[in-house]
């Protein structure tokens, strides 16, 4: 599978940037808004955005349970920022009662929403990332962090002593937005995971 079909969940968030990055990393990118589109992809990216809104749109579009099922079957998924929150097995500060972010349970981890602060507290910096040579420029916007990981979860990166990138099997998550830089190494890592190379 040299050019896997990698979908980007296009309900809300920065879809266009991920589509471009995936294309540059050797995938055949496509948007996913419907069940048939989800069924047609080899892998999926859940972009940044607002995790509570995205969770409820998954319900509105009848995608929540099908996505949970495909994750359980081994679908490779990469979640960035809000995508990381949604991939968690447990979400702290999940939102107002009745409008909470709904965990997809793709990675055995506990994630805290907006852990680094509000929009005005957004920042960027270089971090070390396991398996990638040289520093990675990480853009954090209302970013989460990981407070707990299960025994089979690999910690890939930290920032300010907090876990900001993890992998469990074919599921990858970052608290930051690699699509906002010109660096395609994390998208390339994900495409390699989809292709069984890493």
Q: List, as residue ranges, the binding site.
A: 49-51, 113, 141-142
Q: Residue 44's closest CA among 104, 132, 119, 129?
A: 104
Task: Tell me the backbone φ, ψ of residue 186, rounded to 5 degrees.
Answer: -75, -40
**Is 81 among the catalytic positions?**
yes
Q: Which residue positions form the known binding site for L-glutamine?
A: 49-51, 113, 141-142
**Distance of alpha carbon 110 from alpha carbon 70, whole angstroms:** 21
Instruction: Kindly give the pairing relationship between strand 5-9 and strand 43-46.
Output: parallel
**Is 59 among the catalytic positions?**
no
**Distance of alpha carbon 170 from alpha carbon 179, whole angstroms:** 19
What does the longest C-alpha to C-alpha distance in the chain come to? 44
Q: Residue 46's closest CA among 184, 185, 173, 180?
A: 173
**Is 179 among the catalytic positions?**
yes
Any idea which residues carry the catalytic annotation? 81, 177, 179
């Amino acid at each position: 599978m040299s050019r896997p079909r990698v979908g980007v969940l296009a309900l809300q968030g920065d879809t266009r940037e991920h589509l471009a990055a995936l294309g540059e990393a050797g995938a055949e990118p496509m948007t996913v808004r419907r069940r048939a589109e989800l069924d047609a992809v080899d892998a999926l990216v859940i972009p940044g955005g607002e995790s509570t809104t995205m969770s409820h749109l998954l319900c509105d579009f009848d995608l929540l349970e099908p996505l949970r099922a495909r994750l359980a079957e081994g679908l490779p998924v990469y979640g960035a920022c809000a995508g990381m929150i949604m991939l968690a097995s447990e979400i702290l500060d999940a939102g107002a009662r009745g409008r909470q972010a709904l965990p997809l349970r793709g990675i055995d981890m506990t994630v805290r929403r907006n852990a680094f602060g509000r929009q005005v507290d957004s920042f960027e910096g270089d971090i070390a990332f396991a398996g990638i040579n040289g520093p990675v420029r990480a853009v954090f916007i209302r970013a989460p962090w990981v407070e707990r990981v299960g025994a089979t979860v690999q910690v890939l990166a930290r920032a300010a002593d907090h876990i900001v990138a993890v992998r469990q099997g074919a599921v990858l998550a970052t608290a930051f937005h690699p699509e906002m830089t010109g660096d395609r190494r994390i998208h390339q890592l994900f495409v390699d995971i989809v292709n069984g190379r890493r």
